[in-house]
Amino acid sequence: MTVKTSFNCLKCSLLALFLLFFQVNFAQGDFSGVETILKQYQKTFGKDLTIMVNKDGKNLYKHETEEFKLKTASSIGYSSTWLTAAVVMIYVDEGKIKLDDPVSKYLPFFEKYLKGYITIRQCLSHTTGIQSDASGLASVVQKNKFATLDEAVNAYVSKRQIENNPGEVFKFSNIGPDIAARVIEVVSKKTFDRVSAEKLFRPLGMRVTSFYTEKGMVNPSA
């Protein structure tokens, strides 16, 4: 076992112990023990930590650090795709699109590159069959060169080959979610971030949530 692995195991053990202790104290309504553990293992847990306990609409406990507060915006990486799928499904529920609609119904240029049969369902399930991104640094470079979601999707369709039959092979990438998000932009005639704010973020009170990256591009997948 390496030192790094051993340290990670220690962190997991401490976290499990903390959660068990937290549950007991939560049941008793006393969080003084929680504060003791947080101070004792501050270096292990790190500074990017916020804890909130809410029951029946009432806040029972809150812990914030100077570096990381409840309203601190932080990247959630590929977990963004969950939110993207939620926004797309809102449009499905409203009857504005269907999961088995071909993407070419809204983005006709897919037909030009013989990819007109790919569906919105396949985009959300990562089964488009389109050649996925390069890995590592090359992936970052590829993604950052696009100024808009429209540019990114156009590049996926015009410059990448079909590696597998759509709907048959799962391959996780940003391609499917980006395409589905672009469909929403076309249908709504708004940027995906604006649609997400109107349909999902604001109704849920997620006032600081956004799909905009530090470079100012809307990124539905990361």
* 97-120 pLDDT tens trace: 999 999 999 999 999 999 999 999
* 153 Cβ contact list (under 8 Å, min separation 6): 107, 178, 179, 182
In this predicted structure, what is the pLDDT of residue 28?
A: 55
Report the mean per-residue pLDDT for the chain.
Answer: 84
* Radius of gyration of the chain measured on its C-alpha atoms: 22
Least confident of 35-39, 87-91, 133-137: 133-137
CA distance 47 to 116: 48
Which range is least confidently modeled, 5-9, 149-153, 186-190, 191-195? 5-9
Nearest to 129 by CA among 111, 155, 156: 156
- What is the C-alpha to C-alpha distance for residues 12 and 16, in angstroms, rounded to an integer? 6
Percent of the chain with pLDDT over 70: 82
* pLDDT value for 186: 98
Tokens standing for residue 54: 């809410």
Share of the chain above pLDDT 90, in %: 52
Run of H or E including 121: helix 120-124
Residue 3's pLDDT is what? 42
Report helix angle 175-188 to 80-93, nearest 10.
40
Q: How does pLDDT run across 57-77, given as a tens digit for each residue?
A: 888 888 888 888 888 888 888
* Banded model confidence at residue 49, pLDDT cuts 50, 70, 90: confident
Task: Residue 110: name the closest of 120, 97, 96, 95 by CA.
Answer: 120
pLDDT at position 5 over 60: no
Greatest mean pLDDT among 90-99, 136-145, 200-209 lies in 90-99
**CB-based contact 220:143 (threshold 8 Å):** no
Please tell me whether residue 205 adopts helix, strand or coil conformation.
coil
Q: Taking Cα atoms as reference points, which of 178, 220, 186 lies closest to residue 96?
A: 186
